[in-house]
Amino acid sequence: MLARLGLGTVQFGMHYGISNHLGSPGETEIAAILEHAVASGVGYLDTAFAYPNSEALIGRHLAPGSNLKIVTKTAPVASIGTARDPKAAILDAVASSMDRLRVDRLYGLLVHHATDLGKLGWESLVEALDEAQSRGWVSHIGASVYNEAELELVESRFRPDIVQGPINVLDTRLLSSKCFARLKAGGTEMHARSVFLQGLLLMQPSAMPAFFAGEGCACVAAGIMGGAGDQSSCRMSRLCIGTARHRRRDRRRQ
């Protein structure tokens, strides 16, 4: 099971997350987190060119030769349609990601902003992904999406090996989309992110920001957790992870 879990690393270099009261971890803590992930058999690391310092911190503190499958994302290319050589710029950025990560091969390279695939010059992005793959820099290419419309846009542009998107107990829209089912049937790996909604779903309702008070999220969390304490938090985290694995269990039952 742990081999199918990934560690998100945007928090390594920036204060991120609704439940984050401590800011980003220090280098010693990052080294310990990575060591623990490797020792426990976690399968993937998610990072991005644009996550401040994240790739460099991983490069400095991840033990060389670890089995973690590293997935990073393309750098933003301003005015992709008018840039002089956008494909070369994207490939240069991939090379610098690998330098910072201190690896000579990546498991995955995702288009960070799927909407770029709808812009003038989108072909350069797909050509850069293909080129990175044929040069042997990455074994899987794909995209990160926020919703079904972006998923359909990705599907219309290339055949992704990986698609990453938000799936959680309050948002199962991707799981029920036809495009998701088609891609999955064709062998695309679906990487669920934000399964805890940045930690919101594991917060005690009383600690949630006022925006979530009353109806909606707080009520759902309170109802599912049914009280305070570590046990309920543990139940909730299992429910969150179970939601992200929903389709696979369904298929096994057939």
Ligand X SMILES: NC(=O)c1ccc[n+]([C@@H]2O[C@H](COP(=O)([O-])OP(=O)(O)OC[C@H]3O[C@@H](n4cnc5c(N)ncnc54)[C@H](OP(=O)(O)O)[C@@H]3O)[C@@H](O)[C@H]2O)c1
Q: Quick check: 48 and 18 in contact, CB under 8 A? A: no
146 exposure class (CB count in 10 Å sphere: 0-12, 13-18, 19+): middle
Residue 136-165 contact track with ligand X, rule CB under 6 A, x = bound: --------x-------------------x-
Instruction: Work out how close the CB of 178 gets to ligand X at its nearest, in angstroms, rounded to a whole number.
Output: 22
Instruction: Work out how close the CB of 192 gets to ligand X at its nearest, in angstroms, rounded to a whole number.
Output: 9
Binding-site member from 14, 202, 222, 224 for ligand X (CB under 6 A): 202
Binding-site member from 66, 139, 177, 237 for ligand X (CB under 6 A): 237
Asked if residue 209 binds ligand X (CB under 6 A), the reply is no
Asked if residue 193 binds ligand X (CB under 6 A), the reply is yes
Which listed range, 59-67, 135-143, 195-203, 204-212, lies at the site for ligand X (CB under 6 A)?
195-203
Residues in the chain, total: 254
Instruction: Work out how close the CB of 122 gets to ligand X at its nearest, in angstroms, rounded to a whole number.
Output: 18
Which listed range, 11-19, 99-107, 115-123, 170-178, lies at the site for ligand X (CB under 6 A)?
11-19
User: Which residue is listed with tokens 């949630």?
Assistant: 208
Binding-site member from 24, 188, 194, 243 for ligand X (CB under 6 A): 194
Single-letter amino acid, residue 81? G
Instruction: Work out how close the CB of 143 gets to ligand X at its nearest, in angstroms, rounded to a whole number.
Output: 9
Asked if residue 11 binds ligand X (CB under 6 A), the reply is yes
Size of the site for ligand X (CB under 6 A): 20
Which listed range, 7-15, 34-42, 94-102, 241-249, lies at the site for ligand X (CB under 6 A)?
7-15
Write out the binding residues for ligand X, residues 22-81 only, by CB under 6 A: 46
Please list, in sequence order, all residues whose beta carbon lies within 8 angstroms of the beta carbon of residue 166, skipping any fewer than 6 positions away.
Answer: 146, 174, 192, 193, 194
| Chain Cα centroid distance, residue 174 | 14
Spatial CA neighbour of 187 closest among 159, 212, 225, 228: 159
| Chain Cα centroid distance, residue 121 | 25
Q: Which residue is nearest to ligand X (CB)?
A: 8
Tokens of 253: 């039952």
DSSP 207: G
Binding-site member from 4, 14, 19, 83 for ligand X (CB under 6 A): 19
CA dist 86 and 58 (Å) reads: 27
Tokens of 84: 């002089």
Tokens of 236: 């909730």
Asked if residue 86 binds ligand X (CB under 6 A), the reply is no
Asked if residue 221 binds ligand X (CB under 6 A), the reply is no
DSSP 189: E
Asked if residue 17 binds ligand X (CB under 6 A), the reply is yes
Per-residue H/E/C for 26-45: CHHHHHHHHHHHHHHCCCEE
Residues of the shown chain interacting with ligand X in the complex, contacts defined by CB under 6 A: 8-11, 17, 19-20, 46, 144, 164, 193-199, 202, 233, 237
